[in-house]
Structure formats: C-alpha cells, structure tokens
Amino acid sequence: IPRPPNAFLLYRSDFLKRRTIPREVEKRQQNLSRIIGECWNLLSTEEKAVWHEKAAAATAAHQAKYPHYKFRPTRR
C-alpha cells in the first residue's frame, strides 16, 4: 500500500503536470526536484496552506480506503 502524498509531493506532481519547465530544457528528475524545491521554499504561507489542505484531504481519502494502514518502514 503506498503512503499518502504530503503537501510537497502534491505540489511537485502538479508542477510537473503543468510542464512549467519544458522537457527540452531539463529532463533529469534530480535537477527538476532541486528546482521545484526552491520554488516550494519561495511560496508564501498562504500558498503552502492550499497544498497542506490538499494533503490533508488525500490523507483522509487514504484513511477511508485503507482504515487499518500503518506506516512500517522496513530496515535494509
């Protein structure tokens, strides 16, 4: 069962779907994540609050779908 996405993951997913940075300019996920992280840090508190609300809704939906889910990381 996948973990529910947090606010940053939802923001990153939306950022990539909108193709703010065209694939011709940058293809490497490592660089895209760095750029998106910098953009995330530049967002205002109000803008981040929108993504935190979406993350809370995603978590509630995940909880409804998997009521007995508990994150248990596995040791490598």
Q: Is residue 72 part of a domain?
A: no
Express each pLDDT in 40-64 by its tens digit: 999 999 999 999 999 999 999 999 9
Are 11 and 32 within 8 A, CB to CB?
Answer: no
Residues 6+ apart with CB under 8 A from 28: none
Over pLDDT 90: what percentage of the chain?
71
Distance of alpha carbon 10 from alpha carbon 55, whole angstroms: 7
pLDDT at 65 over 90: yes
Q: Is residue 76 part of a domain?
A: no
Residue 51: Cβ-neighbour burial (10 angstroms; 0-12, 13-18, 19+): buried
Q: Is residue 23 part of a domain?
A: yes
Distance of alpha carbon 64 from alpha carbon 67, whole angstroms: 6
pLDDT for res 15: 92
Using alpha carbons, select from 12, 50, 57, 48 the residue that is nearest to residue 32. 12
Q: Is residue 29 part of a domain?
A: yes
Number of domains in the chain: 1
**Structural domain harbouring 33:** 7-65
